[in-house]
Amino acid sequence: MISHEIDYKIIGDDIQVVEIELDPNETVIAEAGAMLFMEDGIQFETKMGDGSEANQSVMGKIFQAGTRLLTGESLFMTHFTNRGVGKKKVAFSAPYPGTVMPIDLSKIYGNELIVQKDGFLCAAMGTSMKIHFNQRFGSGLFGGEGFILQKLKGDGMAFVHAGGVVMEKQLNNETLRIDTGCVVAFEQSLSFDIQRSGGLKSMVFGGEGMFLATLRGTGRCWIQSMPISKLIQRLSAYGPNSRKESGSVIGGLGSLFED
């Protein structure tokens, strides 16, 4: 598998955009609706599948596209190709505030990266996108990532978006416990699971949730400071339907007994 070689630039701080420069006949694939702008000469087509397998059968394309529905993504992907003369640019923006992570898959263990189900933004043509089933029942049920993740495979550039600030951690036969939902991506050499956050008192009153995500082994992982689920939860506390006493201990306990 040989991916197209693309040049890129990350623009912005808190709400980032990735601007990709394509040589003639180079292609980048992206989630439907992610395009911000494209220069004259860029043509786009909406297709089933990522196009990484040129000789894939029609049924194979339908099956691959159908599996994307399990991750909550669109059935189709958009292919942007430079059909003009000279270099042309196309830009993509994330669906919510956060960080765009450029990742060179050729430098990832096994050329495969496991990504949260809604984390993919765009990638060089030749990158394969498949679903990755989390085989551990506990991590699928309580881990915030679900049973189904995305697996990116290739040797070119891929771009993943995350909420808030992103931290890269290198584990060397170590264990790292993370707030559930804050895991953006990790190398396949790491094992993903969940565990209780502590005793019953800590689980109920500690404010850290009942479970924590756990990564074990040797490899790299990426963590986001503000996943979209947590952002929505925090903002909803200040909405018109929120109660003034919800910030107090008594109000918090009272909410436990609501229908």
Q: What is the pLDDT of residues 145-183, one digit of tens each?
A: 445 788 999 999 999 999 988 999 999 999 999 887 889
C-alpha torsion sign, points 208, 213, 217, 218: negative
* Residue 192, strand partner residues: 215
Give me the pLDDT at residue 153, please.
93
Contacts of 234 (CB under 8 A, 6+ apart): none
Give me the percent of the chain exceeding a pLDDT of 70.
70
Q: Which band of pLDDT confidence, cut at 50, 70 and 90, is reported for residue 74?
A: low
Mean pLDDT estimate for the chain: 79
Left (φ > 0), alpha (ψ -120 to 50) or beta: where does 74 sit?
A: beta
Give me the pLDDT at residue 137, please.
46
